Amino acid sequence: MEAQAQAIMTVTLPVTVRMREKKNRPSGVCPCKHHSQNRHLLGKIIRQRKREGSISSKAIDESYASILGLLGRKQLPHSAEELIHEMKSLGYSPTSSTLSALLICYADNGCSAQAQSIWDHILNGSFSVDISVLSKLFDAYCRSGQFDQVVNLIHQMSSRGCIDLLPKAYSLAVSCFGKGGQLKLMEDTFQDMVSRGFKVDSATGNAVVIYYSRFGSLKEMEAAYGRLKGSRILIEEEAIRAMSMAYIKENRFYKLGEFIRDVGLPRKNLGNLLWNILLLSYAANFKMKSLQREFLRMVEAGFLPDLTTFNIRALAFSRMSLFWDLHLSLEHMLHEKVVPDLVTYGCVIDAYLERRLVKNLNFALNKMNVDDLPEISTDALVFEVMGKGDFHLSSEAFLEFKRKKKWTYRGLIVAYLKKQNRSNQILWNC
């Protein structure tokens, strides 16, 4: 069966090639002519193999559905409609897969009336609707801002008694509205879902928290989180990150710490994420004693510090010029076999240059392998709170504008020190 489908799919090659060539086509040449030729080519091959008895209806259906998807991606809905007419002329009736492909083709290309017509045909007929098709349809409408179309689809499925599909459809709609920042629609759909007795799964509950975190107020976000806890659904990593980011943007670091403690620091399935965010909430305001205390509690609780953990502390030590603590942290990293990244090197270099201790820089760098290739493995949340140091920013610029050069930390340090020396000379001459 797969071999038959693959054989028929070979006819899509000319279609693809011609579409890629359309930018080089002379002006005045109608593209429909080329698609028409390919459509007839497909029909000719199908008729020939049908006579030979070497093709199945399923293979034909899969081929047409695949080509319809291609035409949709190439923004050629009218050619897709012609293809369906060609299929019918060969004596084949569109099935669920071909109708679904045509539906998505229309929706993706803004042909709302045609998409609605196909959707009505699917619902009124004995065709099955796959949840993946529904997801693509919702996404297409939301991308074009047609949120009312999603609401209408939900109402249609409800009135037609699509009980098996409705719970998943509600979940998809909640996510689509949230993704588009339509919080009222998201909330109304969520409440409607609950009132109908449909179970709210973890993905949907967490999605509501995520989108309130991104587009709502802190009060709305906290209410959504409280509702999630009340339903005994565990908050997952993406939602934790979204809420943390919301607190960070508002500089509410005390509330951030409270939230992390409420989630539960002993949770093991998130690695060091919760502990790292808690440490970050203290590092943000340079509460060094609290930072050190919580770090020790983290280790006592059985969590091994990772690169992000060390760099949160290193950034705080560097900004406060706490050289001894910075050195102890580097020794600890070495002991735990945690490899420093560009952020770690930046902490050391920025601290020494800030205090004009360039001659002493080797004392710290001797604990690090400066011939390693540069990389950044620190959690991006750290930069949202602590920003990036001068060495970090300069190194990113070097790496970006001289990509062909094989950089090492040593090379970046030398280039940065030369840059600083030139800057100092310019200032001195002024």
Say if residue 30's pLDDT is above 50.
no
Which sequence spans correspond to the domains of the chain? Answer: 1-125, 305-430
Q: What is the pLDDT of residues 282-291, one digit of tens each?
A: 999 999 999 9
345, two tokens: 């090197």
Is the separation of the CB atoms in 42 and 86 below 8 Å?
yes
CA 225 from chain centre, in angstroms, equals 22
Is the separation of the CB atoms in 174 and 186 below 8 Å?
yes
Would you give the end-to-end CA distance of the chain in angstroms? Answer: 80
Instruction: Grade residue 83 by pLDDT with cuts at 50, 70 and 90.
Output: confident
Query: Tell me, what's the pLDDT at 58?
Result: 66
Is the separation of the CB atoms in 349 and 333 below 8 Å?
no
Instruction: Grade residue 227 by pLDDT with cuts at 50, 70 and 90.
Output: very high
Query: Tell me, what's the pLDDT at 424?
Result: 53
Classify burial at 88, counting beta carbons within 10 Å of its beta carbon; exposed 0-12, middle 13-18, buried 19 or more. exposed
pTM for the predicted model, two decimal places:
0.81
Query: Tell me, what's the pLDDT at 361?
Result: 86
Say if residue 189's pLDDT is above 80.
yes
257, two tokens: 């710490």
CA gap 396, 402 in Å, rounded: 10
CA gap 240, 209 in Å, rounded: 9
CA gap 179, 177 in Å, rounded: 5
135, two tokens: 């997801």
Q: What is the pLDDT of residues 250-278, one digit of tens each?
A: 999 999 999 999 999 999 899 999 999 99
**Any idea which of 122-131, 199-208, 363-372 has the lowest mean pLDDT?**
122-131
